[in-house]
Amino acid sequence: MSRNVGFRGTPLPERIEDVRVTVVMPAYNEAATIEDAIRRVRSVPLKLEVIAVNDASKDATGAILDRLKTEGIVDVVLHHDDNRGKGAAVRGGIAAATGHVIVIQDADLEYDPGEYPELLDPILSDRADAVFGSRFQAGPRRVLYFWHSVGNRFLTLLSNMFTDLNLTDMETCYKMVRADLMKRLPLVSNRFGIEVELTARLARAGARIWEVPISYSGRTYAEGKKIDWRDGVAAIWHVFRFNLFPPRKAPR
């Protein structure tokens, strides 16, 4: 895969307390967990901007988010009139972000916001433009589905073959990226292909990518997990799509 000379962004604040981290939280039918997830985010000792995107939920997700915004716990709430998918929600959140750094946070309590400082460190020390939180390194994790693990590792391998990266977890939700880079990526994914696309676009942009180990508390389907084998098949197509048919201009 061809790459350009690399990303050159504007300098970030030197002190961690001066860095504003925008948390983009897409949500669809997450009324059972979203308030807890947002309060966990708010407990992180960083300067945060929280942007929640209600993707036309059929439960009380939207009402909960509006209440949390009124209480000042959420900074921005975006509502979709129809269900467009995680990718569309993430793209809307990125467009609205005003922070120095952007991180994606699912609303399902599978990922721990307390690990933001570890994700942020390689960016603040100017070693990375983007940091992926890997569920398959040394972090603690809930033991769940064998075939999900196999599928994730296969998709990561396939993506690595095209991007020439050595990631261990391409499908992770935790992708923290400099905002000036993230906003330049020509993202088009509407659904779960956003994970594949973000990785391909970052590689083509010449971004310096790091991985750090994270903990992971996955959900069962009874607890509300939404991804199934059809999303895995779609992800294979997305790997080919976003790596073999890149945008005409790579961001600089």
Per-residue model confidence (pLDDT) at position 169:
93
The residue with tokens 């040394």 is 138
HSE at residue 148, side-chain half, CA atoms within 13 A, is: 16
pLDDT digits (tens, 9 = 90+) for 185-227: 999 998 878 999 999 999 999 999 999 999 987 644 454 455 6
- How many Cβ atoms are within 10 Å of 196's Cβ, its own excluded? 28
Joined together, the tokens standing for residue 211 give 């991985």
CA dihedral 217, 148, 119, 156 (to 10 degrees): 170
Q: How far apart are CA 122 and CA 211, in angstroms?
A: 9
pLDDT digits (tens, 9 = 90+) for 74-118: 999 999 999 999 999 999 999 999 999 999 999 988 899 999 999
Radius of gyration of the chain (CA): 17
* Better-scored residue on pLDDT, 231 or 18: 18
Query: What residue ranges do the domains of the chain occupy?
Result: 18-244
Per-residue model confidence (pLDDT) at position 251:
43
pLDDT digits (tens, 9 = 90+) for 208-218: 999 999 998 76
Coil, strand or helix: which one is 213?
A: strand
Q: For domain 18-244, is the CATH number 3.90.550.10?
A: yes
Q: pTM value?
A: 0.87
Which of 206, 181, 202 lies closest to 10, judged by CA?
A: 181
* Better-scored residue on pLDDT, 242 or 1: 242
DSSP bridge partners of 175: 132
Q: Would you give the distance in Å from CA 175 to the centre of its chain? A: 4
Q: How far apart are CA 129 and CA 9, in angstroms?
A: 9
| DSSP β-ladder status, 130-134 and 175-178 | antiparallel
